Amino acid sequence: MGLITELFNSPSAFILIVSGLIVSITIHEFAHALVAFKLGDPTPKLQGRVTLNPLAHLDPLGSLLMILFGFGWGKPVEYDIYNLNHPKRDTGLISIAGPLSNILLGVVLIILSRVFNIQELMLVAYINFFLAFFNLIPIYPLDGFNVVLSLLPYDLAERWRETEKYSLIFILVLVFTNIPSIIVTPISSLLMVTIDTFIKNLL
């Protein structure tokens, strides 16, 4: 079941995948915290979230689901919209920062994999792409929800916000169905192949 099977089939692969997920989630949440802090809200800094220490960012339930099902989440970064100069816009920037950081990290890992011929890094790169696009699914509390919210006119944004009440149902559907793989896997694979081909041609 999930990554647990990898523990018995290939302990080294299990360690690599879990380590990759921990690094990916840490970078993801750190990016949220850093952007919120840079946009004027001291809350993440005061809560010790502007750090690359994984212990500050891992969520117990999200970590458990990560091991059982192969995906999870970190501890949400808290921020006060009243400390932001442009709350609606800045909320979108804070939300998109996490997925963008994972895409950037994925690109760096592909480059390192090609330069130093460490193929295992390709798997960690894919984990980052998957995490990025999974979080861009527009369902609360995933990042995509607030990204969409920041782009909508105020009247539509209020209607969109009302869908928060159904978030538990949506998350359960994601957890117990193959929807994440159907939606996210092809996009992540396409991006990875495209970037890898481009970097390989450059080298």
Residues marked active site are found at: 29
Using CA atoms, how far apart are residues 77 and 49, in angstroms rounded to an integer?
A: 7
Greatest alpha-carbon pair distance for the chain in Å reads 52
Tokens of 39: 């946009």
Please give the distance of CA 115 from its chain centroid, rounded to a whole number: 26
φ/ψ bin of 73: left (φ > 0), alpha (ψ from -120 to 50), beta (otherwise): beta
Using CA atoms, how far apart are residues 119 and 100, in angstroms rounded to an integer?
A: 23
Comparing CA positions, the residue from 45, 49, 34, 31 lying closest to residue 105 is 31
Tokens of 85: 């100069």
Using CA atoms, how far apart are residues 31 and 37, in angstroms rounded to an integer?
A: 10
